[in-house]
């Protein structure tokens, strides 16, 4: 006997063969009610995820973890401290069999000492390991390890945006060949649920527009500059001191981390692969105190913003064109994302028929990220034991990433040109300013709606810092 499924039709209980053995646990009922014609036909399905009040058998699932750093340690700790609670809630008891690390000499959590190995085969080639949790980061050797696991039919949970945003095709092929699934809620915005909503809950929606703050480090730096008048360098130093920024902060401040996350979100929205290299990006190194002050005194917040616009969709032909960017942007203070400050992340989107939606919360840190990893782990385990089926890692539409040339407003700051010279250069290019003011050194202002290419050409000609105005 294994998972016990019960169909009750007019109160007649039918038992469906089940999988696995162990204790019975309380389960949440998930009744589906169907009414057919005039006769009420009630089908009460005990669904795959065990939930209070029903009888579902406890199943042990054996897992291997690749990486025991910030996130890996938090996941391991949660499984240790709350494993029994999780088992009673999900019907799955996890057994961690092996943990891959790089440096066997490093001091570890004593509970993990007997499990660590530096030999990847002990995880990837152990037939008893059903789910591999990849938390080592980087492109290689993570790609090889994940491919090997998928090819063997192991389910894979990963938090690795670097890997995903560069290897959609390879990973899709590996999933198909091993008939396995890959789950990656933790790869974008830490604890904030956005991947599963896009892959499942919002699957029936057409999403045309998305704005996202998906890098907590830069959000912290810009919040510091705004609320404490700090310079970029001072704010970054504080972020490093508090552990919010790496010693080498370039992936964050140059927008690479956010671009990887935007590639993942775009892939799910466009139903086909979008790669890191296709996302146009600029970071926040050039942002000055003057920009932050100008934004605030004119009703905006300056953010590093990921932006996505679907430009056209041909669902019959299976293709979609989209613009995807990461760049500094002025966000009106009444925009739902304007209040997403400090290290928080936020994703706002416009969907049809759902309307506008906002997702926000902690985008990084061991415990916050572990939340998403564990949610995926339970789903992956359900797939491993046949209680659920995985969705494809990504669709197969052709996605072309293009510049959005529809006119929009732009903020420009020129340090070496006064208001008059700036206005004159803009006029010769046919660009109008709606607001142009003298800055401490040069001038800054907001254009009337202007195509991106033209605004960027003006910025280039005048040596200006440029930011999109939402």
Ligand X SMILES: NC(=O)c1ccc[n+]([C@@H]2O[C@H](COP(=O)([O-])OP(=O)(O)OC[C@H]3O[C@@H](n4cnc5c(N)ncnc54)[C@H](OP(=O)(O)O)[C@@H]3O)[C@@H](O)[C@H]2O)c1
Please tell me whether residue 159 binds ligand X under the rule CB under 6 A. Answer: yes
Q: Which is nearer to ligand X, 256 or 295 (CB)?
A: 256
Calpha distance 194→342 (Å, rounded): 20
Please report how close the Cβ of residue 283 comes to ligand X at its closest, in angstroms: 17
Please report how close the Cβ of residue 24 comes to ligand X at its closest, in angstroms: 36
Please tell me whether residue 71 binds ligand X under the rule CB under 6 A. Answer: yes
Please tell me whether residue 146 binds ligand X under the rule CB under 6 A. Answer: no
Residues 396 and 319: beta-carbon distance below 8 Å: no
Q: Which is nearer to ligand X, 136 or 466 (CB)?
A: 136
Please tell me whether residue 137 binds ligand X under the rule CB under 6 A. Answer: yes
Nearest to 279 by CA among 439, 404, 366: 404
Burial class (CB in 10 A: 0-12, 13-18, 19+), 52: exposed
- Whether 161 is a known active-site residue: answer no
Residue among 31, 40, 52, 141 that touches ligand X (CB under 6 A): 141
Task: Using DSSP bridges, classify how beta strands 433-438 and 398-401 pair: parallel, antiparallel or unpaired.
Answer: unpaired
Residue among 30, 70, 298, 398 that touches ligand X (CB under 6 A): 70
Q: Which residue is nearest to ligand X (CB)?
A: 69
Residues 409 and 445: beta-carbon distance below 8 Å: no
Please report how close the Cβ of residue 259 comes to ligand X at its closest, in angstroms: 13
Please report how close the Cβ of residue 163 comes to ligand X at its closest, in angstroms: 7
Q: Which of 147, 154, 161, 261 is catalytic?
A: 261
Residues 455 and 325: beta-carbon distance below 8 Å: no
Please report how close the Cβ of residue 124 comes to ligand X at its closest, in angstroms: 12
Please tell me whether residue 361 binds ligand X under the rule CB under 6 A. Answer: no
Residue among 165, 218, 369, 371 that touches ligand X (CB under 6 A): 369
Nearest to 161 by CA among 179, 132, 192, 135: 135
Q: Which of residues 298-327 bind ligand X (CB under 6 A)?
A: none
CA atoms within 13 A on the CB side of 165: 24
Please tell me whether residue 3 binds ligand X under the rule CB under 6 A. Answer: no
Q: At what angle do helices 419-428 and 452-462 cross, to 10 degrees?
A: 130
Q: Which is nearer to ligand X, 160 or 166 (CB)?
A: 160
The 3-state DSSP class for residue 122 equals: helix
Q: Which of residues 81-110 bind ligand X (CB under 6 A)?
A: 100-103, 106
Which parts of 91-194 fold into alpha helices (H)? 121-124, 142-151, 161-164, 168-178
Please report how close the Cβ of residue 364 comes to ligand X at its closest, in angstroms: 3
Q: Which is nearer to ligand X, 103 or 334 (CB)?
A: 103
Please report how close the Cβ of residue 363 comes to ligand X at its closest, in angstroms: 7
Q: Which is nearer to ligand X, 66 or 329 (CB)?
A: 66
Residue among 67, 273, 395, 445 that touches ligand X (CB under 6 A): 67
Residues 176 and 169: beta-carbon distance below 8 Å: no
Please tell me whether residue 25 binds ligand X under the rule CB under 6 A. Answer: no
CA atoms within 13 A on the CB side of 461: 16
Q: Which of residues 402-431 bind ligand X (CB under 6 A)?
A: none
Q: Which is nearer to ligand X, 102 or 416 (CB)?
A: 102
Q: What is the CA radius of gyration of the chain?
A: 25
Whether the upstream peptide bond of residue 406 has omega within 30° of 0, thus cis, is no
Please tell me whether residue 365 binds ligand X under the rule CB under 6 A. Answer: yes
Calpha distance 395→85 (Å, rounded): 35
Calpha distance 323→260 (Å, rounded): 14
Calpha distance 369→195 (Å, rounded): 13
Q: Which of residues 162-201 bind ligand X (CB under 6 A)?
A: 186, 190
Q: Which is nearer to ligand X, 198 or 230 (CB)?
A: 198
Q: Rounded to 10 degrees, what is the CA torsion of 391, 394, 397, 399? A: 150
Q: How far apart are the first and last CA of the chain?
A: 58
Please report how close the Cβ of residue 401 comes to ligand X at its closest, in angstroms: 23
The contact set with ligand X (CB under 6 A) reads: 67-72, 100-103, 106, 135-137, 141, 159-161, 186, 190, 364-365, 369
Give catalytic residue positions. Answer: 261
């Amino acid at each position: 006997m294994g998972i016990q499924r019960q169909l009750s039709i007019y109160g007649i209980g039918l038992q469906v063969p089940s999988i696995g053995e162990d204790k019975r646990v309380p389960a949440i009922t998930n009744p589906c009610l169907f009414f057919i014609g005039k006769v009420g036909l009630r089908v009460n399905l005990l669904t795959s995820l065990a939930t209070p009040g029903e009888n579902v058998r406890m199943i042990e699932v054996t897992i291997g973890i690749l990486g025991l750093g910030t996130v890996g340690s938090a996941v391991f700790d949660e499984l240790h401290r709350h494993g029994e609670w999780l088992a009673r809630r999900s019907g799955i008891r996890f057994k961690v069999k092996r943990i891959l690390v790089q440096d066997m000499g490093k001091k570890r959590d004593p509970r993990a000492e007997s499990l660590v190995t530096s030999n990847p085969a002990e995880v990837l080639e152990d037939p008893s390991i059903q789910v591999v949790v990849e938390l080592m980061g980087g492109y290689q050797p993570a790609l090889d390890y994940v491919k090997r696991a998928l090819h063997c039919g192991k389910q894979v949970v990963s938090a690795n945006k670097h890997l995903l945003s560069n290897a959609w095709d390879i990973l899709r092929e590996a999933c198909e060949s091993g008939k396995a699934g890959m789950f990656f809620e933790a790869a974008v915005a830490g604890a904030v649920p956005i991947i599963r909503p896009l892959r499942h809950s919002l699957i029936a929606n057409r999403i045309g527009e998305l704005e996202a703050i998906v890098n907590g480090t830069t959000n912290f730096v810009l919040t510091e500059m705004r609320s404490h008048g700090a310079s970029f360098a001072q704010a970054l130093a504080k972020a490093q001191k508090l552990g919010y920024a790496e010693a080498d902060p370039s992936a964050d401040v140059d927008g690479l981390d956010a671009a990887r996350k935007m590639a993942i979100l775009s892939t799910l929205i466009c139903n086909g692969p979008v790669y890191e290299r296709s996302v146009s990006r600029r970071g926040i190194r050039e942002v000055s105190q003057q920009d932050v002050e100008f934004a605030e005194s004119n009703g905006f917040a300056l953010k590093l913003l990921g932006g996505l616009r679907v430009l056209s969709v041909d669902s019959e032909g299976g293709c979609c064109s989209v613009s995807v960017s990461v760049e500094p942007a002025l966000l009106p203070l009444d925009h739902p994302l304007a209040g997403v400050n400090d290290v928080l992340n936020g994703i706002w989107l416009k969907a049809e028929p759902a309307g506008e939606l906002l997702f926000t919360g902690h985008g990084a840190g061991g415990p916050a990220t572990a939340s998403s990893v564990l949610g995926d782990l339970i789903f992956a385990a359900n797939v491993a034991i046949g209680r659920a089926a995985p969705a494809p890692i990504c669709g197969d539409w052709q996605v072309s990433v293009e510049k959005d040339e529809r006119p929009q407003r732009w903020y420009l700051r020129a340090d070496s040109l006064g208001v008059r010279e700036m206005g004159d250069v803009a006029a010769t290019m046919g660009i109008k300013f709606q607001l142009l003011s003298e800055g401490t050194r040069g001038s800054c202002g907001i254009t009337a709606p202007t195509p991106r290419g033209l605004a960027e050409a003006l910025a280039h000609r005048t040596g200006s810092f440029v930011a999109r105005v939402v």
